């Protein structure tokens, strides 16, 4: 290998290292988020749902949606959305109703009890945002930079799935 070839490959190796570190961080952050939500619910004495189900409540919010809509939004990959929705209905956190237009489809929305838990998750996230800013971890500009970068990665990966086989 010539010196020129080695120098030309150095930036690529650095980029690859940074990219792999980003992938590992995203994966760890997702697992940590689930742990943080689980810990908050344990602190509140809510033991009948798991962290994925709590995030599902948070993301449904005030909407009425189908399991297919939740999947198409890209949430809950690797989890069984139908199973989690069924459990949330059984525990009284969600209402379900057959769609008038397509009887095969079931629409779900939060019950008052589900809205209370959604509000608990929202309060947790608000405390975290305030805490990160107060401790100098992330400010509004820094978090927007992170989000902009993650959206570009998301777009790139989506394009890879759609256009490259």
Q: Structural domains in the chain?
A: 47-134 (1.10.10.10)
Burial of 117 from C-beta contacts in 10 A (0-12 / 13-18 / 19+): buried
DSSP code for 50: -
Q: Which residue has the higher pLDDT, 40 or 70?
A: 40
Tell me if 94 sits within 8 A of 111, measured CB to CB. yes
State residue 47 phi and psi, 5-degree precision.
Answer: -115, 0
Indicate the pTM of the whole model. 0.82
Q: How far apart are CA 137 and CA 28, in angstroms?
A: 18
Per-residue pLDDT at 31: 93
Per-residue pLDDT tens over the stretch 3-39: 555 555 666 788 999 999 999 999 999 999 999 999 9
Burial of 131 from C-beta contacts in 10 A (0-12 / 13-18 / 19+): exposed
């Amino acid at each position: 290998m010539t010196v020129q070839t080695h120098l030309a490959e150095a930036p690529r190796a650095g980029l690859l290292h940074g990219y792999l570190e980003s992938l590992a961080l995203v994966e760890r952050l997702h697992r940590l988020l689930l742990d943080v939500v689980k810990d908050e619910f344990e602190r509140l004495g809510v033991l009948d749902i798991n962290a994925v189900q709590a995030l599902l409540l948070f993301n449904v919010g005030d909407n009425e949606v189908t399991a297919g809509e939740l999947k198409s939004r890209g949430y809950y990959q690797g989890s069984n959305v139908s199973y989690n929705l069924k459990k949330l209905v059984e525990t009284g956190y969600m209402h379900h109703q057959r769609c008038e237009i397509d009887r095969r489809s079931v629409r779900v929305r939060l019950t008052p009890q589900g809205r209370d838990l959604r509000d608990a998750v929202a309060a947790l996230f608000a405390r975290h945002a305030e805490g990160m800013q107060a401790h100098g971890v992330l400010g509004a500009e820094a978090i927007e930079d992170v989000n902009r970068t993650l959206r570009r990665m998301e777009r790139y990966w989506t394009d890879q799935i759609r256009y490259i086989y």
